[in-house]
C-alpha cells in the first residue's frame, strides 16, 4: 500500500488503516459547487505533491484532485460518522444537486449502497484504485492537524470543505506555513452572511494575503509559490 515514500507514511497508515472494500460498488459523487478549476490549475502549476483535504465525504472531490495529477498524494480528513445516506436522501430530488448526481445511473441503488456499507467503507471504495496515494485520517480538524504536524507532515496544499466555520484556517497557517490554503463553500450561507467569505477575507487582511474566488471555490495566493 505504501507508495509515496514519506518517512511518516507508515506511522500514519498504522494509526489510520485503509479498510478492505472488496465487493462494494464504487460511485462518483462530488459535492462540486463549481470553480474547482482554480484548485486543479494550482495543483498542476505549483506541482502539488501532497494535499490535505478536510472534509472528504464520499471522496468525489478527492477523485477530481487525483485526476488532475498522477503524482499527487492526499491525506483525507473526515470523521466519516454522519448519516450520509439520509443526507443523500435529502439531495436526491432537489434539482440543485442534479449536477452532483450526473455520473450516478441509479440514485436509489447508490443511496442504498451507502446505507448498507456506511460512510467510511462507501468513501473508501470510491478511491480504491488510488489507495496507494490516499491516506484516510478518520478524525476531526482542527484537532488532528496538530497530530499530523507532530509527525512532520508538510502539505503543499490544504483544501477545506467541512463545517463552514473555517476555525482551522489559522491553525493550518501556524502548523503548515508553506501550504497553499483553499476550499469550498464561498457562496454558502446567504442568510448567515456568507461565513466562509467573512472568514477568508478576515484571515487575508490579518496576514496581508490575496485571495481569488470563483463560484463556490476560493484560494489564497501563496507568496512562496506565486
Ligand atoms: C460538504 S462535505 C465534503 C464534500 C466533498 N469534499 C465533495 O466535494 O464531495 C463535508 C464533509 O466534512 C466532514 N466534516 C464535518 N466536520 C468535520 C471536521 N471537523 N473535520 C473534518 N471533516 C469534517 C463531514 O463528515 C462531511 O463528509
Q: Model's pTM, two decimal places?
A: 0.97
Tens-place pLDDT, residues 53-74? 999 999 999 999 999 999 999 9
Q: What is the pLDDT of residue 94?
A: 97
Which positions ≥6 away from 158 have C-beta within 8 Å? 51, 52, 53, 54, 172, 176, 179, 180, 181, 182
Tens-place pLDDT, residues 71-100? 999 999 999 999 999 999 999 999 999 999
Tens-place pLDDT, residues 119-154? 999 999 999 999 999 999 999 999 999 999 999 999
Q: Which residues line ligand 1 (CB under 6 A)?
A: 30-32, 54-57, 60-61, 77-79, 82, 140-141, 161-163
Q: Hey, whose CA ends up nearest to atom 13 of ligand 1?
A: 55
DSSP 18: P
Query: What's the pLDDT band for 225 if we cut at 50, 70, 90?
Result: confident
Ligand 1: which of 56, 186, 196 to mutate, most ligand atoms within 8 Å of CB? 56
Tens-place pLDDT, residues 12-50? 999 999 999 999 999 999 999 999 999 999 999 999 999
First-last CA distance in the chain: 34
**Is the CA virtual torsion 146, 151, 157, 159 positive or negative?**
negative
- How far is ligand 1, taken at its centre, from the CA of residue 46, in Å? 25
CATH number of 9-17+32-220: 3.40.50.150
- How far is ligand 1, taken at its centre, from the CA of residue 78, in Å? 6
Amino acid at each position: 500500500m505504501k507508495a509515496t515514500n514519506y518517512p511518516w507514511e507508515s506511522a500514519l497508515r498504522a494509526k489510520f488503516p485503509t479498510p478492505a472494500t472488496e465487493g462494494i460498488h464504487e460511485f462518483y459523487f462530488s459535492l462540486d459547487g463549481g470553480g474547482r478549476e482554480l484548485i486543479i490549475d494550482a495543483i498542476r502549476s505549483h506541482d502539488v505533491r501532497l494535499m490535505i483535504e478536510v472534509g472528504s465525504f464520499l471522496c468525489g472531490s478527492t477523485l477530481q484532485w487525483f485526476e488532475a495529477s498522477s503524482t499527487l498524494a492526499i491525506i483525507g480528513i473526515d470523521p466519516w460518522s454522519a448519516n450520509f445516506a439520509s443526507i443523500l436522501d435529502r439531495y436526491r430530488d432537489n434539482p440543485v444537486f442534479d449536477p452532483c448526481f450526473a455520473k450516478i445511473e441509479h440514485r436509489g441503488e447508490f443511496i442504498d449502497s451507502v446505507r448498507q456499507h456506511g460512510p467510511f467503507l462507501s468513501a473508501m471504495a470510491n478511491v480504491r484504485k488510488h489507495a496507494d496515494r490516499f491516506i484516510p485520517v478518520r478524525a476531526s480538524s482542527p484537532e488532528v492537524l496538530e497530530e499530523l504536524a507532530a509527525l512532520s507532515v508538510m502539505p503543499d496544499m490544504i483544501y477545506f470543505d467541512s463545517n463552514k466555520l473555517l476555525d482551522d484556517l489559522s491553525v493550518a497557517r501556524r502548523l503548515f506555513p508553506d501550504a497553499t490554503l483553499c476550499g469550498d463553500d464561498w457562496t454558502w450561507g446567504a442568510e448567515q452572511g456568507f461565513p466562509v467569505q467573512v472568514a477568508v477575507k478576515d484571515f487575508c487582511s490579518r496576514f496581508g494575503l490575496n485571495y481569488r474566488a470563483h463560484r463556490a471555490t476560493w484560494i489564497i495566493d501563496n507568496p512562496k509559490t506565486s
